[in-house]
Amino acid sequence: MQTVFEIDHPLVHHHLTHLRNKESTPHIFRSQVRRLAVLLAAEATRDLPLRSKTIETPLTEMEGTVLDVRIGLVPILRAGLGMTDAVLDLLPTAEVWHLGFYRDEHTLKPVGYYQKFSSHPPDIVFVLDPMLATGGSAVAGIQRVKDWGAKEIRMISIIAAPEGIASVREAHPNVKIYVCKIDAGLNDSAYIVPGLGDAGDRIFNTFV
């Protein structure tokens, strides 16, 4: 079963170039994150189940189709929030739940600090995080979603390092991963190269 999907589309290449550009201001960066999140979500939802629905158009009755699945979005705080509204534009009835992790700069390991889930998980959960670097937060986040009881989980990231993809595939081999681009790898500080810098800081303009 194919589990890693790298989106090859002219619009992805175009918007990703502007996203990476260090001269892009925070509002441009946020706009590019949204556009890329929409393109990723369209691909990641390609095979969602449908059911028939009879409707009235202005001219006649017809048999249409609507989604037949309960969908949850789980952005990994904080950068995942930058993708959430864009995905909600495509899936306006989706539930939004949250997971918070920060990276310990000494160990480079994820540290969980927040979780908000319901008592009953959705049918399909999309985990949102713009960057899949070491894979630490993704692996830990997906495990929490599994512990919640979700049966089908999909990871959506804008860029990824091969190391992060390998970590997720090893820990969660049945989770599908959707990315715009798989970059060359990680530097000594575990940042993706060529990458785009710190997505959270660029989204929220919190450089210090």
Catalytic residue annotation: 103, 107, 198, 201
**d(C-alpha 83, C-alpha 134), whole Å:** 20
The residues that bridge with 101 in the sheet, in sequence order, are 112
Q: Note the helical H segments in the chain.
A: 10-20, 26-44, 81-90, 136-148, 162-171, 199-204
- The enclosing H or E element of 75 equals strand 71-77
By CB neighbour count within 10 A (0-12 exposed, 13-18 middle, 19+ buried), where does 190 fall? middle
**Token pair recorded at residue 157:** 């990231």
Q: What angle do CA 66, 94, 166 make, to 5 degrees?
A: 105
Q: What's the rounded Cα separation, in Å, for the pair 206 and 137?
A: 20
Nearest CA-CA partner of 92 in 55, 51, 38, 46: 38
- Quick one: which of 172, 86, 65, 170 has its CA closest to 128? 86
Structure tokens that stand for 76 in this block: 């990994």
In Å, how far from its chain's centre is CA 35?
13
